[in-house]
Structure 1
Amino acid sequence: MPHVRCLWVCGVFLMLCACTSLAQNERIVLEGSALDMPVVVTPTLVSPTPTPVQPSATPTLEPTPTNIPTPEPTPDPVTGYRIADLREQIYGEGSITIGDFWSSGASYTSYRISYPVDGLQLTGLIHIPNGEGPFPVIIANRGYIEPERYQSGMDSRAFADFMANRGYLVVAPDYRGYGGGDDAPNLFYTGYYVDVLHLIPLAQQLPMARDAKVGMWGHSRGASITIAALTITDQIAAAVVYAPAPADLAADYARRLDREGAVDPRTWPFPPEQDPAAYGRISPINYFDAVAAPVMLHHGTNDSVVDVSASVEIAEALRAAEQDVTLHIYEGSGHTLTGEEEQIYFARTLEFFQTYLGQ
C-alpha cells in the first residue's frame, strides 16, 4: 500500500515542521517509522531588535576671544603743574652769581644777581646789609608788572629798603622773562613758583646768609606766589602776604576774566569749567595742611585790583587747617598801602619777622 505509506510520511513531516520550539540541531527519532534515521530541523532565526544609537550631543562652541584693546587713561591736563608734582622736584642746583653794583641805601648795598633755574638763567637784585653778617634772609616777591615797562626792583624796592636797613638780607627775583633773564612757559603761574623755589636754597648757601629757613614776602601776584611756596616747601620760617589774589585758581581765573574781559591762554590754557577737578589739584588753598610757617596777611578794603575777600578766604582756610595766621585789614586803603597805613604795615611786618627770623 504505497499510497497509504506516502500519505502517512507526509503527515508526519508536516507535524515536524510545525514544531518551531525545538532547539537547533535537536535529534528527533520517529518511532515505529520505517525511516529509522535522524532528522535535523533548523529553527527560524529571529534577528534581535537593534538597540537604537543615541545621537551624540552637539558640542557647545566656546566663544572666540576678541582682543579688545584696553582704553588708554585720559591724561591729566595739569600733570607737572599740580602742587603734588611741584613738591617732588629738586630745587637749588647751581649758585647765585653776584654781579654789578645797583644802588645803595643808608645801611645796605644792592647788586644785580643771576641764578640758574632748570636750564634758564634768571636775574634779580640782592640787598646786603652793612656789617659782618651772617644775616637772616628774606625772599621778596613783587607783583605783576607788564614786561615792557618793568625794571628790576619795581614793587619790591620799598620793602627791601625798609628791611635791609634793619639788618635783613633781601633777595628779589625778576622772574622768568623779566630783567634780561631767559623766558619760558608759565602755565597757571607755576613758572614763577619754580623761579622762587630755586632761589630759596641758593640764597641759603650765600656766605653772608644765615644758615636757616628764610622769610618770604610777597605783594599782589608775588603774594600768591608766596602762598603757593608755603604749600610746597618747608624751608620758609615766616611769610608776609600783602594783597594776594585768590588761592583758589578757579576763583582767580573768574576774577581776571571779570576784570579784564579775557585771560592770557599762555597762563590759563583752559577754563576751570572744562575740568574743575584739575583746577583743584593746582590750587594752593586745597593744600594748606602742608603749610609749616606762620602767616601774616595785609589787605585794604578799597582794593580795586584784588578784593579784600581773597585775603579773608585765605585766612579762614588757614585757620580751618589749624595754621598760625594773622589778618590785618586796612579800612579805605587800596591795593598798595600808603601814608600812615603803610607805616603801620611796615611796623607789623618788622615785628613779625623779628619774632620768627631773629635780628
Structure 2
Amino acid sequence: MRLLHLLLAHTLLLVASLALGQNPKTIAELTRLRYGGGTLVAERVLERNPSFTRYLVRYPSDGLTMYGFMNVPNTAGRFPVVIVIHGYVNPATYRTLAYTTRYADSLARAGFVTLHPNLRGHGLSQGSPEQGASRVLYAREILDLAAIVRAQAGRGALEKALPSVGLMGHSMGGGIAQRVAVLDPQIRAVLLYGTMHGDDLKNARQICFVFTNRQRGCDELNTPPETLAQISPINFYARIRAQVQVHHGTADTQTPYAWAGEICAALRKNNVSHQCFTYPGAGHTFRNSDFTLLMERAGSFFRKALY
C-alpha cells in the first residue's frame, strides 16, 4: 500500500511538472528562461517639473508591448534605477499614473531614475491580467525590464541610467519583487512594503477567502503542496543576492503584520542581508509621517545599495 501511495504521488508530481513545463511556474523552470531583449522607448513627455521629467515608456515582454512611466532626474549625471511595482488595482479602473506614483516621484527627487511599469492588462499594457496568486507572468515582465535596463543603460531613453537596478514593491508588487529577486542575482536591492507573503499557499488563501470571496486565487489551493513549494519564493531565499528591507504596519488589514515577521525570519535563516521596520498603528498604505519615514529610509537604502 505504501508503494502504491508513493507511485501515485510520483505520478501526480510528473503530471504537474509536465503541465508547468508548458507554462513555466516553478523557480527551477523560470531560472532556465532568458530575459530581456528589445529596447525601452520613451514615447512622449508626460510632465516636467523642477526635479525630474516624466515620460510615457514602452518595452517588450513575452511577445507583448508593456507600458508605464519613467521619471528621470533633471540634474546632470547618471543614476541608479529603481523599478517601482504597483499592488493590486482593479484593471478596469487602472490608469498609467497609479497610486504608487508618489513613491516613484519621491525616489526620483532623491536622485534615482524610477521606472513604474503597468503590468499586463493594466492601463496601456497589452495582455490579460493575471488571475492566480503566484503572479509568475507579472514577475517575468519585471525580469525582462531589469535585463533591458542593464543592457541599454547609458543609451537612448536610458541615457541617464546606470546598470544598477533595485526594486520597490507594495502589496502584490512585493510578492512579485520577491520572485524576481530569487530569479535574478543581479538585482542589488529590494524594498518590500506591506508585502504579500513569499509562501504562495498563504497568498492563495488570503486572495481566495479574504480578498475576493472565492472569486480569484483559489486554483493554487488545488495544486499539490509539493508543487506549490517549488513555486514559492520563500523556499528559495538562499538564492537572493540583493540587500532587502521590509516595511510593514501593525494595523495592516490586507497583508497581515505577522507575515513580515515570517519573511524576516526566513531571510535571517538564509543569511540574506536585510532590515525590518515596524510602523505602529500604520495600515496597508502609509500616510503622513509614516509615508515620510518610509521614503527617507527608502532613499538611504537605495543610495547605499545601488551606488
Q: Same fold (TM over 0.5)?
A: yes
**SS of aligned partner of 2:43:** strand
Q: Please say if residues 111 and 126 of structure 1, whose CA atoms lie closer than 8 Å, have aligned partners that are also in contact.
A: yes
One-letter amino acid of the structure 1 residue matched with residue 205 of structure 2: A
Q: How far, CA to CA, are the matches of 1:339 and 1:357 in structure 2? A: 27
2:132 aligned with 1:203: no
Aligned to 1:219: 170
Aligned to 1:233: 184
- Aligned pairs for 1:282-301 (under 5 A) are 282-301=231-250
Offset, 1:251: 0.8
Q: How far, CA to CA, are the matches of 1:314 and 1:78 in structure 2? A: 26
Q: How far, CA to CA, are the matches of 1:185 and 1:88 in structure 2? A: 24
2:83 aligned with 1:139: yes
Q: Please say if residues 203 and 209 of structure 1, whose CA atoms lie closer than 8 Å, have aligned partners that are also in contact.
A: no
From 50, 66, 69, give the equivalent of 1:122: 66
Aligned to 1:74: 15
Q: How far, CA to CA, are the matches of 2:30 and 2:107 in structure 1? A: 29
Q: Please say if residues 101 and 111 of structure 1, whose CA atoms lie closer than 8 Å, have aligned partners that are also in contact.
A: yes
One-letter amino acid of the structure 2 residue matched with residue 125 of structure 1: F
1:135-183 superposed Cα distances (whole Å, 9 cap, x missing partner): 1111110111001111112132111111111221001100111122211
150 and 234 in structure 1: CA distance in 2 versus 1, 3 angstrom threshold = same
- Aligned pairs for 1:256-275 (under 5 A) are 256-259=207-210, 260-264=212-216, 268-272=218-222, 274-275=223-224
Q: How far, CA to CA, are the matches of 1:245 and 1:211 in structure 2? A: 29
From 20, 41, 56, give the equivalent of 1:97: 41
Structure 1 stretches of 4+ moved >6 Å: none
2:252 aligned with 1:306: no
TM-score normalised by structure 1 residue count: 0.76
Q: Please say if residues 185 and 191 of structure 1, whose CA atoms lie closer than 8 Å, have aligned partners that are also in contact.
A: no
Q: How far, CA to CA, are the matches of 1:114 and 1:86 in structure 2? A: 23
Q: Please say if residues 119 and 129 of structure 2, whose CA atoms lie closer than 8 Å, have aligned partners that are also in contact.
A: no
Q: How far, CA to CA, are the matches of 2:84 and 2:183 in structure 1? A: 17
Aligned to 2:54: 110
**SS of aligned partner of 2:65:** strand
Q: Please say if residues 253 and 263 of structure 1, whose CA atoms lie closer than 8 Å, have aligned partners that are also in contact.
A: no
185 and 219 in structure 1: CA distance in 2 versus 1, 3 angstrom threshold = closer
Q: Please say if residues 35 and 147 of structure 2, whose CA atoms lie closer than 8 Å, have aligned partners that are also in contact.
A: yes
Q: How far, CA to CA, are the matches of 2:256 and 2:64 in structure 1? A: 34
- Aligned pairs for 1:28-43 (under 5 A) are none
**Identity percentage of aligned residues:** 27
270 and 319 in structure 1: CA distance in 2 versus 1, 3 angstrom threshold = closer
- Where relative contact order (Cα < 8 A, 6+ residues apart) is larger, the structure is 2
TM-score normalised by structure 2 residue count: 0.88
Q: How far, CA to CA, are the matches of 1:290 and 1:268 in structure 2? A: 28
1:96-120 superposed Cα distances (whole Å, 9 cap, x missing partner): 1111111233310101111111211
200 and 268 in structure 1: CA distance in 2 versus 1, 3 angstrom threshold = farther
- Aligned pairs for 1:276-355 (under 5 A) are 276-355=225-304
Calculate the aligned-residue CA RMSD, in Å.
Answer: 1.8
Aligned to 1:153: 97
* Unaligned segments of structure 1, at least 5 residues: 1-70
Q: Please say if residues 297 and 326 of structure 1, whose CA atoms lie closer than 8 Å, have aligned partners that are also in contact.
A: yes
One-letter amino acid of the structure 1 residue matched with residue 15 of structure 2: T
Offset, 1:74: 2.9
One-letter amino acid of the structure 2 residue matched with residue 224 of structure 1: G
Offset, 1:322: 0.8
2:297 aligned with 1:357: no
2:197 aligned with 1:246: yes
